[in-house]
Structure 1
Amino acid sequence: MKFLYSLLFFVLAFNLQAQTNLDYYLPQNTTYNPVIPTPQSVIGHEVGEWHVTHDKLVQYMYALAEASNRVHIENIGSTYEDRPLLLLTITSPENHSNLSEIQNAHIAATESNTVSTANRPIVVYQGFSIHGNEPSGSNAALLVAYYLAAAESDAVKQLLNESVILFDPAFNPDGLQRFAYWANTNRGKNLNPDPNDREYREVWPGGRTNHYWFDMNRDWLPVQLPESRARIATFHKWLPNILTDHHEMGTNSTFFFQPGIPSRTHPLTPKLNQELTKKIGNYHAKALDKIGSLYYTEENFDDFYYGKGSTFPDINGGIGILFEQASSRGHIQESANGLLTFPFTIRNQFTAALSTLEAAESMREELLTYQHNFYKNAREEAAKKNGKAIVFGDEKDAAKTYHLAEILKRQNITFYDIKSDFKANGKSFKKGYSYIVPKNQKNTRLINAMFEKRTTFTDSLFYDISSWTFPLAFNVDYAENVSTSYLGEEVTQLTMKPGKVTAKSNYAYLMQWHEYYAPKALNAILKSGIRAKVAMQPFSLQNTDYDYGTILIPVQNQSKDADELYSFLNEIAKESHVTIDPASTGLTEGIDLGSGKFRTLEQPKIALIVGDGITSYDAGELWHLFDQRFDMTVTKLDTRSLQRTNLDRYNTIILPSGSLNGADAKALKTWVENGGTLIGYRYALRWLNNNEFLKLNFKTVERTATNISFEERSDYNGAQVIGGAIFETKLDRSHPVNFGYKNDKLAMFRNTTLFVSADKQSYNNPIQYTKNPLLSGYISQSNLDSLSLTVPFKVQRLRRGNVAVFTDNTNFRAFWYGTNKLLLNTIFFREQL
């Protein structure tokens, strides 16, 4: 037996050494320019021998650009960890000398009613490894870049003459670095393919995500992350004809390329898009056949959500293509298809990258014409909407409105200020707090994709969310088909409304709670040691109406004198974009400023539970919200050491979706009973209920599959999933969890099937789904019936403390601004809940 194992490892080592030679990857029907450095000469190892770290990848790309007149490199941004986001432009030297003219001509063709494809290069955007622990893409990028820079064949030279290649070698530098460290530090001299080996079992949160644990392949449309902002700017600068997105999937799979499942394509995507995708796929099939690799197409994946890299181009006149390679998740691993080596996965990605370029060159005129016609047809559709526009805004929250407009700006959508206040569909739109978007413009289809509400579908299964209606996500008022007569000045320089203290007071200051960044201001106030209170009822003072949740800052008996307090609050107001009013008297219409209806607030001291058993996406979104948006310090408590941690340092602990062990439950419960506030999300609710932190009545959905075949069972069960849809709730605005919301209706995002029954006492249901709650997206009828009149939020006392729970994520993917305040209210007003 020992002899057999020794023989196996010898064979593995020999095969891997053979595979990591450049001859294993590169076409041998050409010569290679010896002046161009090979990857090994720069990074110190053969491609596939080790996982390339991002710093070495960067080093090689710069070396390549320095040596080759086919390659130009630029740093287009930085990650949260300050790693560079590189963009290589690869084309012939002749095209490089004329690149601005090529770009201008390419964009002009999307704005003209006539088209000429003669002598116009096709534009291809090739991007790799947006999930850091799917590294075969970025490792293949070393080879693709070398091949394009060094290959001397006439075919390559012609390809470069007829193409401009926008080359992004690492969509996710932070995640790639994290995973490369893991795989390399767990690699042995004798490679071990045993899937139980530590090499193939990453520690939490894994390398898939970026610094804040976001899945960046869901951010192409909302554009909330720095990596996305950089590449979206490049995308709109060039409008590529093809964009490729190189991924990995389960080890026992083979290789997938699009098109995906035809019935799951978004209706706004032209039918010809999928036909062209399939035609390009023939080139992939031919190339993979040549090297003997198995593959499949038109299964599993879809082209519905426009926030994915492979689907985003489809609503912007291009063709998006997803590649999914079976993952070795390390250097070599047993699989259903035999031993899967890292070099093998790299070669498949390399092969698909080259077949993409072959297809692009061969189909150049066809693809250029398609893009031209896409925008020409879009202009014809938009012309029918001439004089019509969409208006959106929140008359009491300029910041939230600004952040929605910020997305439109990043997506090259033209919009305007409104020239004066007006009403539409019963909603008030205030100048300075609203923007108006004409429908008759170039990106009209993208506008439709962002603002549409859709409740009917040809398929009931979705790879991702089924709705993302942006004005609902931001909880802003909006109206469609309003007249463009309301247009004011075009917004070319988008700026957020400045904050200020309107005048000095020697008595008190008042801050309304409607503005998005009011919690940021309050946190800074409390952190400085300044006392503040919250109004539990509305009141009026000095001809101004103050709503539930107004913050009172008395001037007397503070740690700062009146002048210092005024100066301090002015700085806070400016930084947080809020307005703070002076009060010269405590006598109001309603509750007076000295009333017991003003409750004293405590500085939040927040801990976030992370680690094994916790959903990293949910935890990362929370961390990002506090750290990036509200400048609030949050302590991340790892589940491995939770029971050994002194929890008394915190007054608020957040448990994202997940569960803990029994010892942790005991420690956490004792902390709550002593006065802490525990906030639970999503599937943590079941764990909290089972461990008697609170009592929840979950509604169960009875399902009986009739006339469903064995073959259809998977689709039937998949149709019962709520992958992501939007639902209407009714708010009790007097409850502290709802402070700062001006309307009594709120759209909430849901992607769970947790249905919590409402309490018999109506005042214990501050947020409740309406009887017919579906606003946009897919939900099965049985789930919709079960959701009706249930509640997405519960709060219950546990001795001196309380437990508050949300059935769904109020911070979804960083762009669901509209429900962020529910969490902040639960934190700041925890003792008033």
Structure 2
Amino acid sequence: MARLTALAGAFAALTAASAQAEPIEFFQLDATPYDESVPAPEDVLGFGVGDRPVRHDQMVAYLTQLAEISDRITVETIGYSHEGRPILFFTVTSPENHARIEEIREAHLASLAPGAEADPDAPAVIWLNYGVHGAESAGMDAAIPTLYHYAAAEGLEVEADLRESVILITAIFNPDGHSRRVNHVETYGATVPVTDPDHEQHNLWTTARTNHYWFDLNRQWLLQTQPESQAWLTQWHRWKPMVSADFHEMGTESTFYFHPGEPRRRNPLIPEQARELTQGIARHHIAFLDSEARLYTSEEGFDNFYVGKGSTYPQVNGSLGILFEIGAARGGLIESERGLVSHADNVRTHFRTSLTTVSGALAQHREIADYQREFFANSLQAGRNDADRAFVFSAEGDPVRAGLFVDLLERHDIRVNALARDVTVDGRTWRAGEAYVVELAQPQYTMIRSMFDRITEFEENIFYDVSGWTLPLAYDLDYAAVGRGFSAAILGDEVTAEPVVQPAPPVSSYGYVLRWSDYYAPRALYRLLDADIRVRVATEPATISTSEGRIDFGPGSVFVPLVGQDTGRDAIHAMVRDIAAEDGVAVYAVTSGSTASGTPDIGDSSGFRAVERPEVLVLIEDGLATYDAGEVWHQLDHRMHIPVTLRRKNDLSGLDWSRYTHMVIVGGGNTALPSSARERVEQWVREDGGVIIATRQAARMAERTFFDVEDEEEEDASDEPLARRNYSAMPVDDAEHVIGGAIFAGDLDTSHPIGFGYTDRFIPLHRNTTLTLARPDDDPFAVVVEYPEDPLLSGYASQRRLDEITGTPAVVARRLGRGSVILFADNPNFRATFRGSEKMFMNAIFFGNLIDRPRGDYQ
């Protein structure tokens, strides 16, 4: 009897938990028959959409089963997330189109070539992507009723839609964030749905929004540093769809939004006609939403400026990008001022506007096809007419960094050529064999301009995201526009990105030296240190005798002696050979410890100093920016293969401080260390020789905490009352003195350990804060990087902010007892894309304790 009672209780609990579930009829279209042999979601999942989160493996299984059953759907795995989850790509069209799908794809791409004739019978290519943000549940789960509909719906209308279109669906853009959200919702789930917005089940924004390394994948369309985005962008360019729809969630109190966006916040590279055609599609959304008396908005709030978002990137690539945002139900059912918001209803809205996207695109099929052809034809012609003609670029001493940029351009379908012969631009000579050329006369001209241009003037200074993304600056490349000096003769073979493999050094009887300017040199150095191989690092330039003759090496160059090692010579040679092949680092066999006159011999204890293996502690959460911390984690762990310990900022008790050599503190809203830990952290630096690396707001915190630097008080410009302003102008006026994610120039001391490996003093820096660092009054050598006059390179900053920043430190490195504190006013690892400033961060990791304190009287 007790067992029957328990089972009855469990059944009652299940019934209560399923109260919000919606049967498939909730999603089906009225008057549309559905094939009952196609399983509905609840037939396979065991619950209806909206009942509970659908795990990634469940979604994969169900949607894959639909593809196996239906002759309208095919599926392929196009990549894997960091955590190894598959990313599924579905092609939805009529069986007849499937039989010649590759022919359709190739014909569509051919139709975009200059002078190509339009095929009036060619199907429209439409892209629907779901789930780029893991916390936005409706944007993911909408793929379920959408694919079910196209598998099961019957009748002339759906058959015509499938015959006239090829619908491309990426079901889950962000499997790892999706899985994190599901775990959170289930962890705090209850038998009775809790609608209180303060319930922990509804608190799942940032950590579930991002991927494994806490990257916002909706910023990855342009930057392409994560495997998820690399997978989907490859498919996007394989097809170049006419329309791209991007489904999201926003704050619960919001209603429903769809593009076109705010008209004044349109990237000037996007044609006005794109907006007009998007308005035509929007009328189909409006017809559906009005039919159900739903609340919605359009043309407000959201911009189309940053080209790296899922709804803007298509618009600078010949497509119509459409953003959808709906007020989130968070855990599933939540209270709002407009009533209860349910996950199932949000999924239904996204599903129905997926269908109206298709119907709206088909209603303007010919106009959109003509627009897309004209876009690429106009782009090509603009490239031919552009006075610049081409861009040339190189990365002196770092072929890997140049190759990474080639790979980025290739991912955006931009043709890159080797430089066939030397060319001189503005007094600088670019060498064949070292530099690359991007000709502007190609269909991707608009995309090239969006990546290479430096824009510093804007119609309006309100930005949802960064305002400057000049990517050659982010990669710290030397680059220039080639105008009158251009001729076809400078174009060498078209190049594709290949891993850089350096030649293996011959066996040495003395030791080996590694060039520090190579991008993966920090990974190579850690590999050596982790194998307990002793190394010495050059602190100044040295001319070293090698098997290839005397070669000039810069500060930071790594010398691996053969003497005094516990590892055999054969094993050391095998390791440096692997470093050359796998890390792309140039390695040379040293023939003598005697260097050229005027440079330190290798045995000089000040000219070559020992470094130890870093043990890095990265603080997270408790007010620290998750994105910033994720970028540090990604840079150290994923790229440089350096293990890191992640620890909550407010939970530092019980640590074995003797284990760690470095602590990284990123910016955020609350960077203050807990009072219980401050004294111990300072002791760790002063007495144990620890190194603190602090960025953005944390840099200011470290100044105050460890060097008694006081905040500068804002000075009133005048004693007069503030002038009256119109309330309607507040959004624009508030943004007047922001720094809209811009790129600034820095003057870098390349002789400083934090500047090792750089070949010139110019360093581009990403900046999105207004804070400034103080100039140390007791150490004239502590400022590693300073903002020069006129520092703005690309993006928005008001003249007031430029005046405040000019001449202030961008990077400060100071000794504190036996340790060091290294402060970055900016984020050197911003979105894993500023590959130039990343090296300074890695130098702080390896060379932070090579910094000497001044001994002289400099007053």
In structure 2, the residue matched to 1:574 is 581
Asked if the contact 2:555–2:757 (Cα under 8 Å) also holds between the matched residues in 1, the reply is yes
Q: Aligned letter for 1:670?
A: Q
- Superposed displacement of residue 67, structure 1: 1.1
Worse-matched range after superposition: 697-706 or 100-109? 697-706
RMSD: 2.1
1:147 paired with 2:149, answer yes
- Superposed displacement of residue 339, structure 1: 1.2
Asked if the contact 1:134–1:248 (Cα under 8 Å) also holds between the matched residues in 2, the reply is yes
> How many residues were matched structurally?
822
User: How do 1:159-558 and structure 2 match up within 5 A?
Assistant: 159-202=161-204, 206-385=207-386, 388-481=389-482, 482-485=485-488, 487-542=490-545, 543-558=550-565
- Superposed displacement of residue 527, structure 1: 1.5
Instruction: Select which of 669, 678, 685 maps to 2:699.
Output: 685
Asked if the contact 1:38–1:146 (Cα under 8 Å) also holds between the matched residues in 2, the reply is yes
- Superposed displacement of residue 628, structure 1: 1.7
- Superposed displacement of residue 470, structure 1: 1.1
Asked if the contact 1:698–1:757 (Cα under 8 Å) also holds between the matched residues in 2, the reply is no
4+ residue runs of structure 1 moved beyond 6 angstroms? 13-16
Q: Deviations over 1:13-58 (max 9, x none)?
A: 9998476122222211111011211111111110111111111111
Runs of 5+ in structure 2 lacking a partner? 1-11, 852-859
In structure 2, the residue matched to 1:124 is 126
Q: Deviations over 1:203-253 (max 9, x none)?
A: x95210011110000010121111111111111111001111111111111
In structure 2, the residue matched to 1:7 is none
Q: Aligned letter for 1:733?
A: T
Worse-matched range after superposition: 283-292 or 265-274? 283-292
Worse-matched range after superposition: 774-783 or 497-506? 497-506
Asked if the contact 2:785–2:809 (Cα under 8 Å) also holds between the matched residues in 1, the reply is yes
User: How do 1:50-69 and structure 2 match up within 5 A?
Assistant: 50-69=52-71
- Superposed displacement of residue 803, structure 1: 1.2
Instruction: Select which of 653, 657, 674 maps to 1:643.
Output: 653
SS in 2 for 1:233: helix
Instruction: Select which of 592, 595, 611 maps to 2:601.
Output: 592
Asked if the contact 2:391–2:439 (Cα under 8 Å) also holds between the matched residues in 1, the reply is yes
- Superposed displacement of residue 361, structure 1: 1.3
- Superposed displacement of residue 503, structure 1: 2.9
Whole-angstrom distance in 2 between the partners of 1:702 and 1:311? 40
- Superposed displacement of residue 343, structure 1: 1.4
Asked if the contact 1:537–1:548 (Cα under 8 Å) also holds between the matched residues in 2, the reply is yes
In structure 2, the residue matched to 1:720 is 737
Asked if the contact 1:534–1:599 (Cα under 8 Å) also holds between the matched residues in 2, the reply is yes
Q: Deviations over 1:763-809 (max 9, x none)?
A: 22220001110111001111111111111112222222221111111
Worse-matched range after superposition: 285-294 or 478-487? 478-487
In structure 2, the residue matched to 1:565 is 572
Whole-angstrom distance in 2 between the partners of 1:36 and 1:427? 66
Change (3 A) 1:65 1:501: closer
In structure 1, the residue matched to 2:792 is 774
- Superposed displacement of residue 423, structure 1: 4.0
Asked if the contact 1:698–1:756 (Cα under 8 Å) also holds between the matched residues in 2, the reply is no
SS in 1 for 2:637: helix
SS in 2 for 1:770: coil
In structure 2, the residue matched to 1:662 is 675
In structure 2, the residue matched to 1:36 is 38
Worse-matched range after superposition: 702-711 or 350-359? 702-711
Whole-angstrom distance in 2 between the partners of 1:805 and 1:734? 18
User: How do 1:750-761 and structure 2 match up within 5 A?
Assistant: 750-759=767-776
Asked if the contact 1:332–1:340 (Cα under 8 Å) also holds between the matched residues in 2, the reply is yes
Whole-angstrom distance in 2 between the partners of 1:186 and 1:57? 21
- Superposed displacement of residue 698, structure 1: 5.2
Whole-angstrom distance in 2 between the partners of 1:112 and 1:491? 20
Q: Aligned letter for 2:521?
A: A
Asked if the contact 2:20–2:51 (Cα under 8 Å) also holds between the matched residues in 1, the reply is no
- Superposed displacement of residue 387, structure 1: 9.2
Whole-angstrom distance in 1 between the partners of 2:338 and 2:470? 42
Asked if the contact 1:700–1:755 (Cα under 8 Å) also holds between the matched residues in 2, the reply is no
Change (3 A) 1:398 1:492: closer
Whole-angstrom distance in 2 between the partners of 1:123 and 1:102? 10
SS in 1 for 2:699: helix
Change (3 A) 1:116 1:134: same
Runs of 5+ in structure 1 lacking a partner? 1-9
Q: Aligned letter for 2:626?
A: S
Q: TM-score, normalised by structure 1?
A: 0.95
In structure 2, the residue matched to 1:803 is 821
SS in 2 for 1:711: helix
Q: Deviations over 1:647-673 (max 9, x none)?
A: 221101111223232223333223222
Q: Deviations over 1:337-389 (max 9, x none)?
A: 11111112112211211111110111111111110111111122122249932
Q: Aligned letter for 1:803?
A: V
1:606 paired with 2:607, answer no
SS in 1 for 2:149: helix
Whole-angstrom distance in 1 between the partners of 2:708 and 2:653? 20
Whole-angstrom distance in 2 between the partners of 1:141 and 1:68? 16
Asked if the contact 1:387–1:484 (Cα under 8 Å) also holds between the matched residues in 2, the reply is no
Q: Aligned letter for 1:742?
A: T
Change (3 A) 1:54 1:484: farther
Asked if the contact 2:16–2:192 (Cα under 8 Å) also holds between the matched residues in 1, the reply is no
Q: Aligned letter for 1:592?
A: D
In structure 2, the residue matched to 1:137 is 139
Q: Aligned letter for 1:52?
A: V
Q: Deviations over 1:685-742 (max 9, x none)?
A: 2333443366366585767864522221232112322131001111111111111110
Change (3 A) 1:794 1:32: same
SS in 1 for 2:298: coil
Instruction: Select which of 772, 797, 813 maps to 2:831.
Output: 813
Asked if the contact 2:383–2:389 (Cα under 8 Å) also holds between the matched residues in 1, the reply is no
1:617 paired with 2:624, answer no
Asked if the contact 2:744–2:794 (Cα under 8 Å) also holds between the matched residues in 1, the reply is yes
Asked if the contact 1:697–1:757 (Cα under 8 Å) also holds between the matched residues in 2, the reply is no
Whole-angstrom distance in 2 between the partners of 1:59 and 1:432? 50
Q: TM-score, normalised by structure 2?
A: 0.92
In structure 1, the residue matched to 2:758 is 741
Whole-angstrom distance in 2 between the partners of 1:235 and 1:698? 50
- Superposed displacement of residue 428, structure 1: 4.5
Asked if the contact 1:389–1:484 (Cα under 8 Å) also holds between the matched residues in 2, the reply is no
Whole-angstrom distance in 2 between the partners of 1:654 and 1:372? 50
Whole-angstrom distance in 1 between the partners of 2:635 and 2:330? 31
Asked if the contact 1:758–1:789 (Cα under 8 Å) also holds between the matched residues in 2, the reply is no
Asked if the contact 1:512–1:551 (Cα under 8 Å) also holds between the matched residues in 2, the reply is yes
Asked if the contact 2:318–2:372 (Cα under 8 Å) also holds between the matched residues in 1, the reply is yes
